[in-house]
Amino acid sequence: MESKTVLVTGIGGNVGQGIIRNILDTNFPIKIIGTNISKLSAGNHWVDSFYIVPYGYAENYIQEIKQIIEKEKIDLIIPSTDFETYTLSQNENQLTCKISCSGKNATSIYLDKYDTWLHHSKYSIPFSHSSLPSEYSGQFEQNIAKPRQGRGSKGLVFNIQDTSSLSDKEYLIQNLEQGIEITTAVYRSYLNKEILGLISMERSLENGATTYCRVTEEHDDQIERIAQKMILHSDLRGSFNIQSIVNKKNQVIPFEINCRISGTNSIRSGFGFKDVKYTLEELLWARNPEKINTSNGIAYRYLHDVIYPNGIDENLKGNRTDNFKEF
């Protein structure tokens, strides 16, 4: 198997760190390059080299990425944030390596939650009813104000009454669906364009990150129908994430879509859904992934510490031989 070099972005967050751990678990001959907006990045000790880059929406982001691609001879970029996924997708023809992401159309639609609502409404695909702040007149029994783009779970306002202070360009008002929250990872093959499988998990969150989850297959048929319709009307590919509420009528109502490998990648690989591995096999070596066989189970996340004795910021540039301790 020929050696390859993979760049993983956003390694200061749990998504990027999960991707790195999954790459290491494959034992594939891969050199890992990491990037983040800060030199103090919790994933530095897992990568071979590390670079500071600007935010994915910055004007010079693509230029910085191009320089890293050239210097490190990158074969594949796996983005872990929504803005980087969008920017890399929109500029894919300028880059000399492969990108693990959906096409321009999908990354544009699903970066913006209000555009997602408009798109899904147009094609009768379920999605939580949404409104611009200026058009909101109390039509939802309970509501939630959200930033239209990115930011994870930051900037949320529950049951807002006066929306006059919110900009239509930045916010939307969404019906606050009541029920069980589930997160679903779907993998559509880059090679044969078919859905290879999906896995759904009920979950609990703290500060926007999953802390507990349980595999559930109860709603998979309904979710697969939704995913197939999404694919029919956009260029979704590879791994993508559907966040949904299952309401009292047992209806699955998506409320957010991510066109990238999502934050539970390190958990679901333990249940047999190895979307990072499938991505590597398809995009690096043009190999068809093995048949997906998932198992049931539950998972908890816990705090983990990385200690660099006598370490200083300038030395934390990424080197798996660095002197560090994990607790």
260/4 Cα distance (integer angstroms)? 21
The number of helix segments (H) and strand segments (E) in the chain equals 8, 17
In this predicted model, which residue has the larger pLDDT, 235 or 315? 235
Residues 239-251: what's their mean pLDDT? 96
CA distances to 155, 204, 236, 303 from 300, rounded to whole Å, are 26, 10, 30, 10
Quickly state the pLDDT bin for 1 (edges 50, 70, 90).
confident
Share of the chain above pLDDT 90, in %: 82
- pLDDT of 321 > 60? The answer is no
Of 56-65, 71-80, 280-289, 292-301, least confident by mean pLDDT is 292-301
Q: Quick one: average pLDDT of 89-110?
A: 96
Rounded Cα distance between 132 and 255, Å, is 15
- pTM for the structure as a whole: 0.93
Average pLDDT over residues 174-189: 96
Residue 153 has pLDDT above 80, yes or no: no
DSSP readout, 302-316? ----EE-TT--GGG-
Instruction: Tell me the percentage of the chain whose pLDDT exceeds 70.
Output: 92
Q: Which of 255, 273, 227, 234 is nearest to 89 (CA)?
A: 234
Tell me the domain boundaries of the chain. 4-111+179-326, 129-175
Tell me which of 16 and 41 has the higher pLDDT.
16
pLDDT, position 203: 81
Q: What is the pLDDT of residue 45?
A: 87
Distance, first Cα to last Cα, the chain = 34
pLDDT at 118 (0 to 100): 98
Distance of CA 71 to the CA centre of its chain: 26
> Would you say residue 204 has pLDDT above 90?
no
CATH 3.40.50.300 at 4-111+179-326, yes or no: no
Q: Say whether pLDDT at 315 is over 60.
A: no
212 pLDDT band, cuts 50/70/90, is confident
Say how far apart CA 107 and CA 260 lie, in whole Å: 9
- Tell me if 125 sits within 8 A of 229, measured CB to CB: yes
pLDDT for 237 beyond 60 = yes
Mean pLDDT of the chain: 92
Residue 42 confidence (pLDDT): 76
Neighbours of 76 (CB within 10 A): 18
Is 316's pLDDT higher than 70? no
pLDDT exceeds cutoff 80 at 323: no
Supply the pLDDT for residue 307: 78
What confidence tens digit (pLDDT) does each residue in 219-234 have?
A: 999 999 999 999 999 9
Residue type, 30: I
pLDDT for 128 equals: 97
Residue 223 CA, chain-centre distance (Å), reads 18
pLDDT at residue number 302 = 80
Residue 92 — very low, low, confident or very high, per pLDDT cuts 50/70/90? very high
pLDDT at 95 over 80: yes
Type of residue numbered 226:
I
What pLDDT shows up at residue 320? Answer: 61
Q: CA 136 to CA 134: how far, in whole Å?
A: 6
Count CB-CB contacts under 10 A for residue 165.
10
- Cα 318 from chain centre: 23
Count how many Cα atoms sit within 13 Å of the Cα of residue 152 in the half-sphere of its side chain. Answer: 14
